[in-house]
Each structure stands twice: as structure tokens, then as C-alpha cells.
Amino acid sequence: MDLLTIGQIINTTLVFATALIFASLGGIFSEKSGVTNLGLEGFMVFGAFAAGIGAHYAQEAGMGGTTSAWMGVLLAIVLGVLVSLIHAVASITFKADQIISGIVINFLAAGSTLYLVKLLFEGSGDSPLVQGFSKFDVPFLKDIPLLGEAFFKNVYPTTYLAILFVFLTYYIMFKTPFGLRLRSVGEHPSAADTVGVKVLRYRYIGVMISGALAAIGGAAITLTTTGTFSHNTVSGQGYIAIAAMIFGKWNPIGAFGAAVFFGFSQAIRNYVQLFEWSQSIPQEIIFMLPYLLTIIVLVAAVGRSSAPSALGEAYDPGKR
């Protein structure tokens, strides 16, 4: 194995991690505000779907590849926010069980996106192939050995955007008054209410940002890896994103690290044939390794979870 291969593995890792980063950041926004979000998978599916048809119709309208891809992202954000309102209304206003409400989102996503795709494209289960984002090289930086191959060659704009959002989320969450209030309604809603923070409003905002970010994550899959939306475009990545969020202890930087870890596990499959030692090991063992490692790391290092303390509880001002 040489430096070139290592560089390529890092590169592929980041491509696979991109969607997970967006979705787990989304999860953080919702859960920091005190609303459990098991619907990340559903939001990703809606995003992947919206990106597929958005980019398709933008292309039909004569827009170029990259412009139409951005239109796809835009539609994904809009749909993600709209659908997140279902979760918000049910779990915040009507005080439904937040876990159940999240599962409902996943059900609705699986059903309605395929229904719409079949409706729009005459019974076909896939959306038409779109061009999506093209890979590009960063001039000069791409010539750095290893680093160039890993971070600056054949990259997608979504990957850079995802990393930017990690720092943005960190900044918003821990350095702005908005972030402080958002966290306060997730930790101690009645105290926040007492000092005049609109608990329900902040929770709505948290869930909506969550829907938007997870949808961008889904869009990133359609617009970079698959180029089309079908029933297995997302296939469980939302659940992995939840794991990444918990694994990263609801911290954007931590979630980023966990997402990269899972991205690596997906990337390594593409390269595993290159290692000589891998020939003697059944591929299934290599496939299950990252999940096994996650459990081991959780047991050994992470221990007790550090979820926001009011997570999962509907806020009832009358009960203060």
C-alpha cells in the first residue's frame, strides 16, 4: 500500500462521510433543543428525493450541471423544513411521543417519495439520472503529496460545505445567544421559560434546522454518489447518523469525528481487496468491523451518555 492509496481512501472516506455529517449535525440541532429525532432517516430520504427531482427539472429547464445540482439542494432544504413541521407539530404542539413521531416521518418518507417518483415518471421506481455535482481539483494544493490526494483532488463542494457546517454549528451552538437559548430549552425548559425564552418556538426552530440539514445530507448522496433517487439511495444512513450523533456526545466536532469513522468503514470496502491480509478473512467480518468497533469504543471510553436532560419530554407550561 502506498501513499497514493492512502490518499484515495481518505478521499473516499470524506465522500461517504459528507451525508452523515450533515444529518448528524441536524440531529444535534433538534436534540439540543430537547426534541428526540429518530426521523433523520426520513428527512434524508425526502432530501435525496427532492434533490433528484429538483436537479432533473432544473436540467430540463436548461440549467447547467452545477446550477441544477444547487437547485436540487435548495428544493431539498425546502422539503426538509416542510416535513420537519410534521414532527414539530406532533411532538411539540400536540405532545406526541417524539420517538414515535420520528418513526412516522420515516414511514411517510419511504411511502410518499416512491409514490411521487412513480407518479411523476410514469411508474418507474427511479428518478431520472441527473448530472449532480462534478468533482474538481483545487489548484496548487492538489500537488501536495498525500494531502493533495486526500483533500484537494476529485473533491465535491458538498464535502467542504459539510466541514464548514461543523464549525458553523459549533459556533452557533456554543458562542451565540441563540445557541445558548436553544440548549437551555433542551436542558431545563421551565427555567428557560422563566427568564423569557420562548420554549416552543426554539424547539420548532431546532427541529426545522434539523430537517433542513438532514435533507441536505440526503441530497448530497443523490447529487454525488448515486445520481438518481430510488428506494435504496439512503438505506439506513439516517440511523447511522443518529449513532454518530450519540457517539459524538451531541457535540458537532464529536459527531464529525464519528461520521468520518463511519465514512471510513464504508470507504474501506472499496479498497479492501488491495490488502493482502484481507484475502484470507471473510468479507463479512470486514463489513461488521466498524459496527463492532463502535460498540467496543462505547463500552470502553464513552460510558454514560450525555444527552440533553430534557430530551424527549414535551414541555407543558402548566406543569411548571
Out of 2, 62, 122, 123, the residue judged to bind another protein by CB under 8 A: 123
- Which DSSP state fits 276? S
CA distance 85 to 35: 12
Stretch in the footprint of another protein (CB under 8 A) among 154-162, 198-206, 212-220, 290-298: 290-298
Query: Shortest gap between Cβ of 48 and another protein (angstroms)?
Result: 15
Q: Which is nearer to another protein, 150 or 240 (CB)?
A: 240
Cell of 115: 409514490
Stretch in the footprint of another protein (CB under 8 A) among 135-143, 147-155, 171-179, 237-245: 237-245
Three-class secondary structure of residue 38 per DSSP: coil
CA distance 312 to 96: 10
Query: φ, ψ for residue 154 (rounded to 5)?
Result: 50, 50
Helix axes 3-32, 199-220, angle to 10 degrees: 150
Cα Rg of the chain, angstroms: 20
SS3 content of the chain, % helix, strand, coil (to 5): 75, 0, 25
Who's near 267: CB < 8 A, 6+ residues apart?
A: 9, 12, 13, 15, 16
Stretch in the footprint of another protein (CB under 8 A) among 43-51, 67-75, 86-94, 135-143: 86-94
Out of 129, 168, 180, 288, the residue judged to bind another protein by CB under 8 A: 288
119 binds another protein (CB under 8 A): yes
122 binds another protein (CB under 8 A): no
Query: Shortest gap between Cβ of 201 and another protein (angstroms)?
Result: 19
CA distance 300 to 292: 12
Out of 276, 304, 318, 319, the residue judged to bind another protein by CB under 8 A: 304
Beta-carbon-side half-sphere exposure of residue 166 (alpha carbons within 13 Å): 22
Query: What is the footprint of another protein within residues 27-46 (CB under 8 A)?
Result: 38
Query: Shortest gap between Cβ of 55 and another protein (angstroms)?
Result: 22
Q: Which residues bind another protein (CB under 8 A)?
A: 38, 86, 89-90, 93-97, 99-101, 103-105, 107-108, 110-112, 114-115, 118-119, 123, 232, 235-236, 239-240, 242-243, 246-247, 282, 284-285, 287-288, 291-292, 294-295, 298-299, 302-305, 307
